[in-house]
Amino acid sequence: MRSVVRGIGCWCWFVPAVALAAVANRPAEYVRQWPLQLDGADAGAYRVHLDEAVYRTAHSPTLADVQPFNAQGQPLPAALAEVDAAVPAAELQPLPVFVLPAEGTARAGDLELIAERDADGRIRRLQAREPGGAPASATPRAWLLDASALRAPMQALRLEWDAAAAPVQAELRVEGSEDLRDWYLLDPHAAVMDLGNGAQRLQQRRIVLDSHARYLRVQLLSGSLPPLRVARAELPGPLRPDATRWLGLDGQPQERGYVYTLPGRFPVGQVDVEAADNQATRWIVQSRDSEDAPWVKRAGPWLAFQLGAGPAAQRSAPQALAVPSRDRYWRLIPDSGEAAAMPRLRLGYRPETLVFIAQGAAPYTLAAGSARVHRAEAPLSQLVATLRRARGPDWQPARATLSAQAQVLAGEAALEPAPRPIDWKTWLLWALLVGGALLVAGFALTLLRGRGATPAA
């Protein structure tokens, strides 16, 4: 009887222990890894751009199986983050400033401006006078700004004035002109200020504009404003180069079109059709992640054409997807027209950035490809946003680059699903039921033996 009870106790301890044994997130559970080279040994936070080899190795549709490790094989906090999406810094170009008399503020149409300009329209000398030839007052309550040298539209105007002991709070009227005669309104009530409260300071010297005007006139409507010292035109910063990379896929004909297989978890954001000859066909693009899943429309119908050959050929523009997709299977369906030969599908993607926190000892590695373990997502996008507020919008984590030579870990075995975890609650319930039945049977057997051993009267 005691042996039966001890056996039940052993099962009660064994079942939970087996159930809690989970697959650990370690490098041995991934297909391969790449050594990481860091720019700076003490930056703390790093960013690594994922290349084609990583996308071809990844198995998870969310890239949850892309994980950095330290030298001890411990997983590092990491997450995909848009660290390269900061708006390029605006360009500032100084504008020549000419003082206009106060009378011009009230009766701008009556003010006569005598301007000496060069061949490009830039003002060399400006003289303002009232009708009748009398010189106007020199009280600075209006200014003329020469923007004729700008080669791009102005998105804002930044004003700087001499430091004043009294607080500055004023309302300005901003107008534009192409010939210094006809003026049109740009901003009827632009507010500027420079207020102080001990060590704290509130400044607003930027006036948002969307102007192509060659000349600007700034007039003081209310409040006080010290004499303008500098005026700068804010121009859009340089555009970032297109980072889209393209994959060309050959397909297989099916009943309704052509099917293509994407060799990795690329974040496809654009599609294009490439033909070997002249063509003009309207296409519909669909995708799905497994062979038994329904097709989902991604783009189209849109006209894809090609006329001519070589660099001088005329081709249609790629079609952008509403939402990037990592689906494995893609299908082209002709909506109108017929392709003379099987078209080649081109899929465009923008490489993503993985941000991670360096913990533990170097060297660090980046592993990819696993159906058994997944990365725990860290709140690093929030970290980047917080640091950009503190250090400026152009701040980025230090760069980490992938080594070209990958190291094979578990290989294709890492893509086999992990064994299903044991349902320890069910096993424990069965163990208790069987143990209880054995216990009852033991008590019954003991009672039967006791009755058989009773001596006859």
C-alpha to C-alpha distance for 222 and 169, rounded to whole angstroms: 9
Closest listed residue to residue 381, CA positions, set 348, 418, 352: 352
Between vectors from CA 128 to CA 124 and to CA 130, what angle results, nearest 5°? Answer: 160
Let me know: does 115 contact 180? Beta carbons within 8 Å: yes
The maximal CA–CA distance of the chain, rounded, in angstroms, is: 152
Q: Tell me the pLDDT tens digit for each residue of 249-265.
A: 999 998 788 999 999 99
Which of the pair, 232 or 238, is modelled with greater confidence?
232
Q: Residue 13 pLDDT > 50, yes or no?
A: no
Between vectors from CA 370 to CA 350 and to CA 53, what angle results, nearest 5°? Answer: 35
Least confident among 18-32, 87-101, 188-202, 238-252: 18-32
Which of the pair, 166 or 119, is modelled with greater confidence?
166
3 state SS of 35: strand
Reply yes or no: is the peptide bond before residue 417 cis, omega within 30 of 0: no
Q: Tell me the pLDDT tens digit for each residue of 344-393.
A: 999 999 999 999 999 999 899 999 999 999 999 899 888 888 888 888 87
C-alpha to C-alpha distance for 16 and 138, rounded to whole angstroms: 91
Q: Residue 248 pLDDT > 70, yes or no?
A: yes
Q: Tell me the pLDDT tens digit for each residue of 98-128.
A: 888 755 443 444 455 555 556 555 655 555 5
pLDDT band at 435 (very low <50, low <70, confident <90, very high): confident
